[in-house]
Structure 1
Amino acid sequence: MKKRKWLSVLVVFTIFFLSACAQSSGGNGEKVVNIGYSGPLSGAAAYYGENTLNGLKMAVEDINKEGFEVNGDKYKLNVVALDDKYLPNETASNGKRLVQENQTPIIFSPHSGGISALQVFNEVDNFIVSAYSSEPDIVERGNTLTVRIPPSYEGYIEPFSDYAMDNFGKKLAAIPPVTQYGKDWAEAIIPYWESAGGEVVHKASVDYSKDTDFFTLLTNALKEEPDVLFIGGPSEPTAKIVSQARQLGYDGGFIVMDQAKLDEMKNVTGSYEVLEGAIGVVPLIYTEYSGTKEFIDKYREKHDKDPGSEAGYHYLAMYVFVEAMKAAGSVDDAKLIREHIEDGLTNLPDDKKVYDLKHIEENGAIENFIRMGVIKDGEFEEVDVE
């Protein structure tokens, strides 16, 4: 019995040892850095999650063609992706697993609830949270190992609202998603709308994880005869709300939260005509920076569809982190890598600049540009933001 017991222990130890070796070295002698990802890969937000992961994986594939050197050692990257179903508690569990089993110095999270869950323990467990969310509170908590990639949504509140009031009217019906992100957006835009002389005639919320038919929700909102609907969330269900509002006879405007992308919504509605009067962020396909066209072309070839900004930002962020690792002289010291993010931005090759990121603030926010667009006369049109 003792011999069998020791044999079992030996087998377990051998498996663990081989697993650790697999995580630290590649097939050709290169060392491997595991990069964590926890996002929605199933459920209503799965399309959004897949897009974020696609951008990250594309960057890793490109980087691994030649690998990269840190202190004379050659490295390649390996993405370890886990599904959190858009649930913060699942993100937290995934984060613990990624750190304990895969020693990930960086974990990408594409939703504010998940980011918040990781921030509870990331400083203790020593990993960077690569935060893809425009929630301003993410970088206001004093978390020293958080890097927020996209711009804060606070910059959209005024231009979106002013354009909607000027072009459609002052009566707003707010129907944000039930997520914390949706609540925070609503709590930011509603006071501004009212302070600017507008009236909020209806407030409700929608749970995209449960609701697929929005007719009752919209019927109640449209009874108040709003001029503008405030909506948002993942592109696909947001587009369905627009379509069903049109079917109910609504002909006003839409303020669209930045998570939803107008070009992706068009793929659901079938045309921009249905989206007439929608105000949102500028889609990546209408953006022109030094590395944008090459990325779009490669993404289309690989995935047979247009990339959204979430794919572009994840692609770009991975390159920034690699450049930061080079400058830090470390692939696993999260604090040191975070200290060299500015170097990562400075040393980023021009042909990888899908967006033009400036510098990182002390709180972890990367400075970015605010750009907005509208659907007017059945076409996309960018609007200058003063």
Structure 2
Amino acid sequence: MNVKLNVKQVAAAAAFGLAFAAPAFAQEVVKIGFSGPLSGGAALYGKNVLDGMQMAVAEINAAGFEVAGKKYKFEIVALDDKYNPSETAINAQRLVQESKTPAILVPHSGGGLALQVNNEQNKYLLLSYTSVPQITARGNKLTLRIPPEFTSYVPAFVKHAMTKYGKNLAFAHGDHDYAKAWTAVFKPAWEAAGGKVVIENPMSYNRAADFYSGVSRALAAKPDVMFIGGASEPTGLVVKQARELGFKGGFVIIDQAKMDEMAKVIGGYGPLEGSIGVLPLVEDKTPDAQNFVARFQKAYPGRIPSSEVSLNYTAVYLTAEAMKVAGTVTDATAIRAALDKAAKQLTPAHNPNSLDGVDEKGGTLADTRVAVIENGKVKEVKLSSLK
């Protein structure tokens, strides 16, 4: 049979097909945005966050994802902001306008606070990987704070460090917003417990690799304890250089820095003797945590996951589950309203940090885990025993 179609007929047929195919195609991919440091001193930190997200997406897509009877595929659209809140804001506009992302994950408080200026107006959910209380205290109705508030660590950190080493404290933390938020809470708590701050000397953890001058200045004030923290690698360098300069005291390490990652920089846990910080995920002996570590190492051979990996892995699963509960992949308000119910429906395999729910302000609920270094080994301690 010889069928002839003129140009107008072909064009009409194509237009008819596109009219039906285009909407289906546009809705079959759910894009989640990421804006975080993928270069500079905090690049490893940003990569850990992104790897956790990508691991979740790979699993969700392999299992199949369906909302309101329609199948979707997840995709992460990742942009580098170099830990700069101004860059985060620019990236967010690009993600919303070009990729139509219903949610954007940002792993630093400065960037999260910058996005809260207009995320409600632009109708996207901010997935904020920061434990600063301000991110939920502002009353933003389209925010999820992924980790629990850091304030729960402070009394235990103060008691341990002051009891073991003494009352003179040197602040030698990073100069970024998150470290400043920690300092604003930790300083009055230290002083209220009878301690003395002998020097405040924040350093540019995200832009420097040599901290000898800053550490020397801090040690000249003769502290018993150093308060440190930023991304893991530069925090490890601060410890290394402090020990090389003869510091014998203890370290209080903010939760952004992970002791197992620092150990890679300083040659093991030995230089961290007496320090207190968050329990490394790899040292968490609960079955769910160990199962997650094993699955991550299978997906990323030779790597050890941190809590940045696991918590942001869970954040993607939580967002996906909330979409199912809400019956939409685009309505950020409905997705936000479904988060608490979704959190309670997560399987242990998808929730290795045992998040219990999401409060009315958008903060996750969970027990915080603390560890100290004793005789060169990680030892978990109960918060109740240190308060």
Question: What's 1:365 paired with?
Answer: 363
- Distance in 2, matches of 1:262 and 1:369, equals 19
Match of 2:333, as an amino acid? Answer: K
- Distance in 2, matches of 1:45 and 1:242, equals 17
Please, which of 315, 318, 321 is the counterpart of residue 317 of structure 1? 315
Answer yes or no: is the 8 Å Cα contact 1:360–1:366 preserved in 2.
Answer: yes
Q: Does 1:305 align with 2:293?
A: no
- Distance in 2, matches of 1:79 and 1:224, equals 47
Deviation of 1:333 (Å): 0.3
Give the match's secondary structure for 1:354.
coil
- Distance in 2, matches of 1:354 and 1:149, equals 13
Match of 2:88, as an amino acid? Answer: T
Q: Does 1:381 align with 2:387?
A: no
Q: Does 1:245 align with 2:242?
A: yes
The structure-2 alpha-carbon separation of the partners of 1:269 and 1:369, relative to structure 1 and needing over 3 Å to count, comes to same
Give the match's secondary structure for 1:96.
helix
| Higher deviation after alignment, 196-205 or 346-355 | 346-355
Question: What's 1:5 paired with?
Answer: none
- Distance in 1, matches of 2:279 and 2:269, equals 14
Query: What do residues 302-327 of structure 1 show as CA deviations (whole Å, max 9, x unaligned)?
Result: 32211000000011111111111111
Deviation of 1:370 (Å): 1.7
Give the match's secondary structure for 1:320.
helix
Query: What do residues 23-63 of structure 1 show as CA deviations (whole Å, max 9, x unaligned)?
Result: 9638xxx8110110000000110000000000000000000
Question: What's 2:149 paired with?
Answer: 152
Question: What's 1:40 paired with?
Answer: 37
Deviation of 1:344 (Å): 1.0
Give the match's secondary structure for 1:332.
coil
Q: Does 1:199 align with 2:196?
A: yes
Match of 2:374, as an amino acid? Answer: K
- Distance in 1, matches of 2:125 and 2:170, equals 38
- Distance in 2, matches of 1:345 and 1:88, equals 29
Match of 2:369, as an amino acid? Answer: R
Query: What do residues 44-98 of structure 1 show as CA deviations (whole Å, max 9, x unaligned)?
Result: 1000000000000000000000221111101110110000000001000100010
Give the match's secondary structure for 1:33.
strand
Q: Does 1:83 align with 2:77?
A: no
Query: What do residues 197-223 of structure 1 show as CA deviations (whole Å, max 9, x unaligned)?
Result: 011111111012332211111111111
Deviation of 1:117 (Å): 1.0
Deviation of 1:342 (Å): 1.3
Percent identity between the two aligned chains: 45
Q: TM-score, with normalisation over the residues of structure 1?
A: 0.92
Structure 1 unaligned segments of length 5 or more: list them.
1-13
Question: What's 1:178 paired with?
Answer: 175
Question: What's 1:6 paired with?
Answer: none
Matches within 5 A, 1:1-386: 21=22, 25=25, 31-289=28-286, 291-303=288-300, 304-386=302-384
Match of 1:369, as an amino acid? Answer: D
Q: TM-score, with normalisation over the residues of structure 2?
A: 0.91
Query: What do residues 181-234 of structure 1 show as CA deviations (whole Å, max 9, x unaligned)?
Result: 111111111111111001111111101233221111111111121110000000
- Distance in 2, matches of 1:353 and 1:187, equals 31
Deviation of 1:290 (Å): 5.1
- Distance in 2, matches of 1:60 and 1:289, equals 24
Structure 2 unaligned segments of length 5 or more: list them.
1-14
| Higher deviation after alignment, 299-308 or 99-108 | 299-308
The structure-2 alpha-carbon separation of the partners of 1:24 and 1:86, relative to structure 1 and needing over 3 Å to count, comes to farther
The structure-2 alpha-carbon separation of the partners of 1:258 and 1:57, relative to structure 1 and needing over 3 Å to count, comes to same
Moved over 6 A (4+): none
Answer yes or no: is the 8 Å Cα contact 2:225–2:250 preserved in 1.
Answer: yes
Answer yes or no: is the 8 Å Cα contact 1:290–1:351 preserved in 2.
Answer: no
Match of 2:276, as an amino acid? Answer: I
Deviation of 1:383 (Å): 1.1
- Aligned pair count reads 366
| Higher deviation after alignment, 229-238 or 151-160 | 151-160
